[in-house]
Amino acid sequence: MKKNIIISLFCLFCAQTFAQQITIKNIESRLITHQGVEFIGDLKDVNNDEYAYSNWGNQGVLFVDSKAYHLSNINFNITTNCFESRVNKNQLFSFKSSNLDSVSLNNHLYKKIRDSFYEVLLEKGNNSLLKKYDITFRPGILNRLDGTVGKSSSFVVFKYLVKFEDKFTLLEFDKKSILSLVNDDFQKTLEKLIDSENLSYRRENDIIKIIELVFKNSDKMI
């Protein structure tokens, strides 16, 4: 009888220990594609995060270990810098970023660099122009009449990086920032090329063309 009591107490202790260790947060979810491949991630409720696309009817290709897996109903979560798939009306599957090398979303390529995903706007060999999606918050405006503060708001902003070999340079959309990518002797030549092509220092599509000119003269880059 005494032996049975000891065993029961031991089982109760184990049950309590495991109950403390195994929680829903520790259990990884898995999404199985139509190709029979499992991806690890988190199942989450639909929320108010910011996404790259306003709808979920997007075609994606997940690249893992030199293999490509096609998936529809996918989007890029700017708030968390993760890719997610709509499982049903109320739930999303968030892919574990460490399991993905890169993702093509509606023919836009996103590569993982230093644990964050960047859209690749241009890639020439080991050089590339990268676009980082981010969120900035603006606090509510104070109403001086009654002392109340309005609702805060969030905005999607973009940061651009030029990757030249192993060096990353933050790029502003202005003449000074772009010309600073090349040495002093080539700056006037680059400026003339930009003017002759009637390119703007402010428009993304024109910036891509300008950086392509820079990469063609990579021996002139700083």
Give the model confidence (pLDDT) of 103-130 as tens digits: 999 999 999 998 899 999 999 999 999 9
For 182-205, what is each residue's pLDDT tens digit?
999 999 999 999 999 999 999 999
pLDDT on residue 28: 66
Q: How much is the mean pLDDT over the chain?
A: 85
C-alpha 24: how far from chain center: 26
Of 158, 170, 145, give the one whose Cα is nearest residue 204.
158
**C-alpha span between 76 and 81 (Å, rounded):** 7
DSSP code string of 116-165: EEEEEEEEETTEEEEEEEEEEEEPPPB-TTT--BPPPEEEEEEEEEEEET
* Six-digit token string for 26: 């520790």
**C-alpha span between 126 and 122 (Å, rounded):** 11
Give the strand pairing for 153-164 and 127-138: antiparallel
- Are 45 and 91 contacting, i.e. CB atoms less than 8 angstroms apart? yes
Q: Where does the pLDDT of residue 27 fall: very low under 50, low under 70, confident under 90, or very high at 90 and above?
A: low
Q: How many CB atoms lie within 10 A of CB 134?
A: 14
**C-alpha span between 100 and 171 (Å, rounded):** 26
Give the strand pairing for 74-77 and 67-72: unpaired
C-alpha 117: how far from chain center: 3
- Are 163 and 130 contacting, i.e. CB atoms less than 8 angstroms apart? yes
**C-alpha span between 194 and 176 (Å, rounded):** 13
DSSP code string of 181-192: TB-HHHHHHHHH
**C-alpha span between 171 and 222 (Å, rounded):** 14
For 29-71, what is each residue's pLDDT tens digit?
888 777 777 788 999 999 989 999 999 999 999 999 888 999 8
- Are 61 and 70 contacting, i.e. CB atoms less than 8 angstroms apart? yes
Terminal alpha carbon distance of the chain: 83
The H-or-E segment that residue 179 falls in is helix 175-179
Claim: this prediction has a pTM higher than 0.85:
no
